[in-house]
């Protein structure tokens, strides 16, 4: 850490600050410039909260040198993490290290028939994982909140029928156990990226976690949330960029496609993009999905529906299965041009 | 709702859209302009999700006329809501309708003695409610996470000793019951503003709820979260502006002081400001607190500490009790100039 | 336009508002809902400033139906605009309608030899237009401000030697004439996107204009700035997305790659991306360039330098010519996968 | 400056970096931590662009210790700058160091009579400086662009008749001379905050300059723009916060009231707020003006009109003179509570 003192810091104050730093078990190296004194702090940085130092009178700024996350960092784990997601009737879906994955399905699991129908369609088009909401985070308390455990059952069955692992969102610490019984991947939504108790709970399971970026979260805060999961022993975290809040209102959120190469540089974890929630409008979903893969993402998560105007939620952003199929062709071509590829598990016997 | 069609919408499509609108139990009034057809939709707007209409082919935009929240709206409840918070040993603290309230105390309840000491000091300086964290949301899994139920006990005792109602943050649906036993006001933090299940749970209690604005939440989304609590029958919601994420990094967040008069216009609920978390640096807390009260806020929530460099969290933003006392004098003068006032409950016997 | 009245608007007020609207030469269609009265305004919308209506007492909101720009809109000009940029010694570079273009060169034209050297290198790697700064907008008054007319001469000569059209930034209405003499394309920088007099001046010339998006400009404001140029009779505007200001500080700006398909939907004008200024760091430039082309952009503008640590400005973001060459191979593959292509003019004889 | 190397930097690379730093005339102090090497750079920091160092291979980050502005900094000039603005017929208006100032008048100078009428009214209500637009920056090329030199004449006459200095916006380097002839204060608008040539030109005059903050400008960039003016010898810069672009769309911009105390800490220059452009809606102007003064601003700039719905621009945000008068009473009370005060020049004889 680098501690920069205020220009008016007296000798007595400097001595006091140094002794406070040393009391924390750290070494302090003074460097007196023409205008300011700077203290280089050496020692086990992770053990000291920069805020302790920043709160000392006479300190102007504290600049950390080390990243605040450890297990999530590329320095801790140099190689790309590759996650093997077992398929219900055999085989695995791989993600990371050049393996791309498409997650697709309806926003909400609306009824048994539609879940099965869409599962077949998205698998045929090239998706390897089936998504579907059972517990839905809705802005309005008066909106449809999901079919709960029943929906989990539909997803489980449709996953088995098509040999697709299943992912669904968990919003409440009290639901972790039931969701774990039915699904293969936990999804933590953007609104819960800093629901720290929930992160601890999914961190205690041994199932992969797709962690969406909060709409106001910096990349560093996002990796800190991954660290919550990793710190509990669950090393299977997949990051998902889904758009951030900016002043631009043409689309619902601004997909921060730069976050893909930045995360790849800072971390070993796989990262995918969710163009559906970013755009909020199906006509822009293909362009954003292509941009994500071209930027280096390890996959996409998209919403599909056979009749978007009848969808119980987020109809405007749902792709028709046909469009999804064309999109998968484009994504395969882009991935191939960059030396990477999408795969699916074999169809169920 | 106003539905604007794409310029290329054919007659057949228009007829189809109208019938889809009517199938939802609404009336459709067509208006054909030179370039576009616009449909005015009349009926019980709250029952229809604008997304259903937006998902119809040929629809370009759907513009809601009504606000998406109801119980939180000024139209539903014309007068300012005034909330009476009972004090442990008699009397009430009022907030809303011209009554201002100062909430103060440590970021975290660190030990019994410090909680009592600070409670006395902030009460003396003019605070009427005691704050203190028992369960702390921390960006890092390796940081201090709060003393839990023990801290709740310290707060309860200190509240009684100084006749101050107590507020603490609730982060997990599983903690609502225990926190309800010890405290007088629930605080929902910015990171949980859209933790919808948590909002439902505190909505089922009958204790006031301070609902902080999420750092990426629009004012409309914030009021929708209030609606979650109100919809469960708990009408005692106090909104708290605590800064939003913007490109400006000089301070930790940008206090959106405009949200105060905007909320006052849209809603009847009291609104306070939290200058401590917005600034993240104690030297700027007084200016932001004054700005909030001058803009019309019904109170402030600030963090205080007797020795900020020893604080277990957020030391850099904690005011010394002396500074808090001077600040309260300025705030009283500003409130008075605007025809409003701060009050405290009588000291415990 | 749709005019929404406040709930408390009286009959007398409504009558008055209607007569004010009719006085502007427009028709007013009243629609009385349960809670609010809405007025549909029909007529030549572009002639009336929505602000006149919004300023009337009793009006809550004014919702325009028409876009505020006309010549820039896809409705005015259905086909993609294709711009032919003549090359100094024969042939044209095409942009728009499936034709992609790479603009490359140094941030600043530092001396004659380096301009010639880089021109050769970027041409060889696949660039068709040569960029270079002669008048530099610098955040600090103490930084290098460009070599002015001398630099224009170097660019002109290097352009001729390699048969590449030349682009340079214009920052001041007083420089339009001299820049017009030496270059083929005007560049309006992000900081001048709303320098309206400058837009008028380049609009009066007949040379293509690359109009960068302001870092706080909405897509709509950007198209309005294009309208300034178009309104003067210059129909050769190329839009350039170069990143917006958001809360994320990992990179210098956030490249809003969504703006590419949104602009394509709203407008017929070509749009390119500038990954260099968005990233501010060369290691992220290739990923952003690929994302832009995959999202549908008609080209890129990138900065190159043979020795970035000696560059007079923006060294950290300059690509080495070798890296640029590899990038062009990837971009060609992505463009081809999407049915599009980059071309260059033949080398000078 | 602190230079942080990448973890993989070899000894040879470190030696090379040190010699590059020394070649710039600086001293390099190496500090080897467990994971990274850090170089403290001592010397005349302002002479070296951090970008040169950042562009060196093996460098991860460069952290400047010194501020990038000098003349604008509180370190360079410890006392608050107080500016005396001479009034046309005697006396001065003071701003800074506890002296507050209200600037008021119409958005655009629409005709001679209205300018005189409003000047009288705002002077009566407590304004000391008269504002009015002659050259208007308009988002649309089809909107009213101002009455130019004629409007300057009206303002000059109305200023004389009421003994008020006059301020108007300059948008083009070619207009500096004519505006200098007629007015007492130059206004640089938000859209031109980084129109560097314009800053140089007003810097060469000796009239005060109100420099509005760009809607995407960080506080540091704003002070750098002030430095452009100061560097030319014009030391009379008044900063004006007028709202920034954020995701919140309830009002036109988000008034960043925190910028007031932050600027006061970093700089000696006076700072005022413009609540009219921030709000874009007159009902919110008083609350924002009060917040600005309570946060420590040295004044306000507001738009007034006798008949907002007939205003040629920005009608919705114009205060009626009566409301402005009530607002001035509140602002005087708040300023007084904080030991400060507004003054006006004596009425013209």
Percent of chain C with pLDDT over 70: 98
The mean pLDDT value for C86-100 works out to 95
pLDDT digits (tens, 9 = 90+) for C104-135: 999 999 999 999 999 999 999 999 999 999 99
Chain B residue with CA closest to D296: the answer is B287
CB-based contacts of A81, cutoff 8 Å, min separation 6: A96, A97, A235, A236, A268, A269, A270
- In three-state secondary structure terms, B246 is coil
Angle between helices A321-337 and C321-337 (to 10 degrees): 150
Kindly determine whether residue A278 and residue C265, on different chains, have CB atoms separated by under 8 Å. Answer: no
Question: Is the Cβ of C70 closer than 8 Å to some Cβ of chain B?
Answer: no
Q: What is the rounded distance in angstroms from the CA atom of residue A273 to the CA atom of residue A288? A: 9
What pLDDT does residue D63 have? 83
Which of A64, A107, A142 to mutate to test binding with chain B, by most B CBs within 10 Å of its CB? A142
Distance from CA of B243 to the nearest CA of D (A): 10
Report the Cα–Cα distance between both ends of chain D, in Å, rounded: 58
Size of interface A-D (CB pairs under 8 A): 43
Residue C185 pLDDT exceeds 90: yes
What pLDDT does residue C36 have? 78
Nearest to B167 by CA among B284, B303, B292, B52: B303
- In three-state secondary structure terms, D79 is coil
CB-based contacts of D28, cutoff 8 Å, min separation 6: D3, D17, D18, D21, D22, D39, D40, D41
Name subunits touching D (3+ CB pairs < 8 A). Answer: A, B, C
Kindly report the CA angle at B201 between B198 and B204, in degrees rounded to 5?
150
Residue C349 pLDDT exceeds 60: no
Lowest average pLDDT, out of A344-348, C191-195, D268-272, goes to A344-348
Q: What is the rounded distance in angstroms from the CA atom of residue B140 to the CA atom of residue B144? A: 9
Distance from CA of A309 to the nearest CA of D (A): 28
Percent of chain A with pLDDT over 70: 98
Kindly determine whether residue D55 and residue C20, on different chains, have CB atoms separated by under 8 Å. Answer: no
Kindly determine whether residue D38 and residue A4, on different chains, have CB atoms separated by under 8 Å. Answer: no
The mean pLDDT value for B283-307 works out to 97
Nearest to C250 among A219, A283, A338 (CB): A219
Residue B220 pLDDT exceeds 70: yes
Nearest to B7 among C34, C75, C249 (CB): C75
Query: Is D294:D251 a contact under the CB 8 Å cutoff?
Result: no
Question: Is the Cβ of A192 closer than 8 Å to some Cβ of chain B?
Answer: yes
The mean pLDDT value for C9-33 works out to 85
Which of D248, D317, D340 to mutate to test binding with chain B, by most B CBs within 10 Å of its CB? D248
The tokens for B279 are: 């600034």
Distance from CA of A58 to the nearest CA of B (A): 11
What pLDDT does residue C237 have? 98
What pLDDT does residue A42 have? 77
What pLDDT does residue D62 have? 86
List, in sequence order, the alpha helices (H) in A126-274: 149-162, 176-182, 196-204, 219-230, 259-266
Q: CA A117, A122, A125, A126 torsion: positive or negative?
A: negative
What pLDDT does residue B47 have? 66
Nearest to A134 by CA among A117, A118, A152: A152
Q: Which residues of D touch A34 (CB under 8 A)?
A: 42
Q: What is the rounded distance in angstroms from the CA atom of residue D129 to the CA atom of residue D185? A: 9
Q: Which residues of C touch D141 (CB under 8 A)?
A: 196, 199-200, 224, 227-228, 231
Q: What is the rounded distance in angstroms from the CA atom of residue D299 to the CA atom of residue D123? A: 15
Distance from CA of A69 to the nearest CA of D (A): 14
pLDDT digits (tens, 9 = 90+) for B180-206: 999 999 999 999 999 999 999 999 999
pLDDT digits (tens, 9 = 90+) for B25-80: 888 888 777 677 888 887 766 667 777 788 888 888 888 877 889 999 998 999 99
Residue C46 pLDDT exceeds 80: no
Query: Is B281:B316 a contact under the CB 8 Å cutoff?
Result: yes
Nearest to C140 by CA among B193, A134, D199, B54: D199
Q: What is the rounded distance in angstroms from the CA atom of residue C169 to the CA atom of residue C176? A: 10
Nearest to C142 among D46, D142, D309 (CB): D46
The mean pLDDT value for A58-64 works out to 85
Q: Which residues of C touch B4 (CB under 8 A)?
A: 65
Question: CA dist B340 to B95, B275, D291, Å?
Answer: 11, 20, 15
Lowest average pLDDT, out of A217-226, C19-28, D39-48, goes to D39-48
Global pTM?
0.95
Kindly determine whether residue D254 and residue B254, on different chains, have CB atoms separated by under 8 Å. Answer: yes
Read off the DSSP letter of residue B214: P
What pLDDT does residue A44 have? 67
Query: Is C122:C304 a contact under the CB 8 Å cutoff?
Result: yes
The tokens for B97 are: 């309708």
Positions of E strands within chain C: 2-5, 27-32, 37-42, 59-63, 83-86, 92-95, 99-105, 129-131, 166-169, 185-188, 209-212, 237-241, 271-273, 299-303, 341-342
Question: CA dist B101 to A276, B98, B298, C188, Å?
Answer: 44, 10, 6, 52
Question: Is the Cβ of B30 closer than 8 Å to some Cβ of chain C?
Answer: no
The tokens for D184 are: 């007492």
Q: What is the rounded distance in angstroms from the CA atom of residue A243 to the CA atom of residue C165? A: 37
Q: Which residues of D touch C194 (CB under 8 A)?
A: 137, 139, 191
pLDDT digits (tens, 9 = 90+) for A106-164: 999 999 999 999 999 999 999 999 999 999 888 889 888 899 999 999 999 999 999 99
Name subunits touching C (3+ CB pairs < 8 A). Answer: A, B, D
Question: CA dist A137 to A108, A302, B189, B196, D263, Å?
Answer: 11, 17, 17, 7, 41
What pLDDT does residue A45 have? 64
Residue B156 pLDDT exceeds 60: yes
Residue ranges of chain D whose pLDDT lies below 50: none
Chain A residue with CA closest to C292: the answer is A291
Q: What is the rounded distance in angstroms from the CA atom of residue B245 to the CA atom of residue C246? A: 9
Residue with the bigger pLDDT between C47 and B244: it is: B244
Q: What is the rounded distance in angstroms from the CA atom of residue C52 to the CA atom of residue C50? A: 5
Which of C6, C26, C27, C31 to mutate to test binding with chain B, by most B CBs within 10 Å of its CB? C31
Kindly determine whether residue A141 and residue B195, on different chains, have CB atoms separated by under 8 Å. Answer: no
B88: left (phi over 0), alpha (psi -120 to 50) or beta: alpha
What pLDDT does residue A53 have? 82
pLDDT digits (tens, 9 = 90+) for A159-196: 999 999 999 999 999 999 999 999 999 999 999 999 99
Kindly determine whether residue D57 and residue C231, on different chains, have CB atoms separated by under 8 Å. Answer: no
Residue C45 pLDDT exceeds 80: no
List, in sequence order, the alpha helices (H) in C231-320: 259-266, 275-279, 285-294
Query: Is D13:D21 a contact under the CB 8 Å cutoff?
Result: no
Nearest to C253 by CA among D154, B340, D218, A29: D218
Q: What is the rounded distance in angstroms from the CA atom of residue D49 to the CA atom of residue D70? A: 14
pLDDT digits (tens, 9 = 90+) for D89-134: 999 999 999 999 999 999 999 999 999 999 999 999 999 999 999 9
pLDDT digits (tens, 9 = 90+) for B98-132: 999 999 999 999 999 999 999 999 999 999 999 99
Three-state SS annotation for B110-135: CCHHHHHHHHHHHHHHCCCEEECECC
Q: What is the rounded distance in angstroms from the CA atom of residue C186 to the CA atom of residue C127? A: 17
Question: Is the Cβ of A255 closer than 8 Å to some Cβ of chain C?
Answer: yes
Question: Is the Cβ of D254 closer than 8 Å to some Cβ of chain B?
Answer: yes
Report the Cα–Cα distance between both ends of chain C, in Å, rounded: 58
Read off the DSSP letter of residue A133: B
Percent of chain B with pLDDT over 90: 72
């Amino acid at each position: 850490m680098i501690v920069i003192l205020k220009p008016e810091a007296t000798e007595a104050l400097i001595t006091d600050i140094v002794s406070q730093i040393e009391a924390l078990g750290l070494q302090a190296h003074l460097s007196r410039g023409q205008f300011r004194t700077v203290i280089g702090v050496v020692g086990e940085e992770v053990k000291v909260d920069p805020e302790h130092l920043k709160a000392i009178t006479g300190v102007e700024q504290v600049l950390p040198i080390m990243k605040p996350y450890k297990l999530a960092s590329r320095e801790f784990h140099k190689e790309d993490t590759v996650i093997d997601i077992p398929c219900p009737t055999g085989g695995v879906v791989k993600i990371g290290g050049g393996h791309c994955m498409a997650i697709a399905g309806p926003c909400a699991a609306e009824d048994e028939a539609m879940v099965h129908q869409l599962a077949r369609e998205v698998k045929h088009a090239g998706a390897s994982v089936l998504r579907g909401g059972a517990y839905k985070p809705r802005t309005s308390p008066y909106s449809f909140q999901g079919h709960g455990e029943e929906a989990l059952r539909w997803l489980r069955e449709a996953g088995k029928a098509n040999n697709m692992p299943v992912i669904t969102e968990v919003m409440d610490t009290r639901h972790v156990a039931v969701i774990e019984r039915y699904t293969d991947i936990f999804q933590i939504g953007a609104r819960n990226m800093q629901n720290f108790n929930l992160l601890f709970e999914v961190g205690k399971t041994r199932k992969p976690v797709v962690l969406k970026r909060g709409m106001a979260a910096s990349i560093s805060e996002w990796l800190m949330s991954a660290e919550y999961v990793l710190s509990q022993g669950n090393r299977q975290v997949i990051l998902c960029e889904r758009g951030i809040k900016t002043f631009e209102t043409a689309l619902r959120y601004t997909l921060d496609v730069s976050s893909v190469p930045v995360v790849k540089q800072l971390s070993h974890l796989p990262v995918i993009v969710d163009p559906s929630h970013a755009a909020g409008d199906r006509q822009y979903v293909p362009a954003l999905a292509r941009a994500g893969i071209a930027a280096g993402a390890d996959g996409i998560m998209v919403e599909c529906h056979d009749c978007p105007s009848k969808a119980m939620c987020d109809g405007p952003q749902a792709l028709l299965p046909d469009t999804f199929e064309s999109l998968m062709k484009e994504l395969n071509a882009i991935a191939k041009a960059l030396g990477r590829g999408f795969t699916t598990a074999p169809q169920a016997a």
